[in-house]
Amino acid sequence: MVPELKSNPEPARILVIEDEVLIRCLIADELREAGFTVIETQNADEASSYLRCGAPVDLIFSDVHMPGSMNGLDLARRIGNERPLLPIILTSGRMSPADVGGAIRLLPKPYELRHAVALVRSALRASLDWQ
């Protein structure tokens, strides 16, 4: 028996973590327009709580510098230990790719929204290749 393919696969779920409301709204809206499901949080603590609840997420898109008990890089490292196949994209205006490590992608700020969406698509495709 051949498994039946879904005619309408569910969109990928992107967890966007950004404390700047305008930036978060812009990237979240752009990702939604690109067909993704977007979950928004304002800091790494909220995101961590969301993930601990077992909510499904296909990719993390997070700012590095934000208020709270941990920053985006701390969260990314924690997630990388717990879920090493989950793609993570960090954004920062003050870091270089060498600062974040090999498994985490860095999108320097300021970034163009279309580049961010392209990077999300690329990261999701790459994660499917590894699974």
Instruction: Give mean pLDDT, residues 82-93.
Output: 92
From the number of C-beta atoms within 10 Å of its C-beta (0-12, 13-18, 19+), residue 19 rates as: middle
- pLDDT one-digit tens code per residue, 14-38: 999 999 999 999 999 999 999 999 9
Any idea what the CATH number is for the domain that residue 67 is in? 3.40.50.2300
Instruction: Give mean pLDDT, residues 51-70.
Output: 94
- pLDDT one-digit tens code per residue, 39-50: 999 999 999 999
Q: Domain tally for the chain?
A: 1
* CB burial string 21-34: b at 16+ within 10 A, e below: eebbeebbebbeeb
Is the residue at 113 inside a domain?
yes
Is the residue at 117 inside a domain?
yes
pTM for the whole thing?
0.89
pLDDT of residue 130: 57
Is the residue at 76 inside a domain?
yes
pLDDT at 72 over 90: yes
User: Distance between CA 62 and CA 47 in Å, rounded?
Assistant: 9
pLDDT at 7 over 60: no
Bridge-based pairing of strands 37-41 and 88-92 is: unpaired
Is the residue at 118 inside a domain?
yes
Domain hosting residue 49, numbered range: 13-130
Is the residue at 3 inside a domain?
no
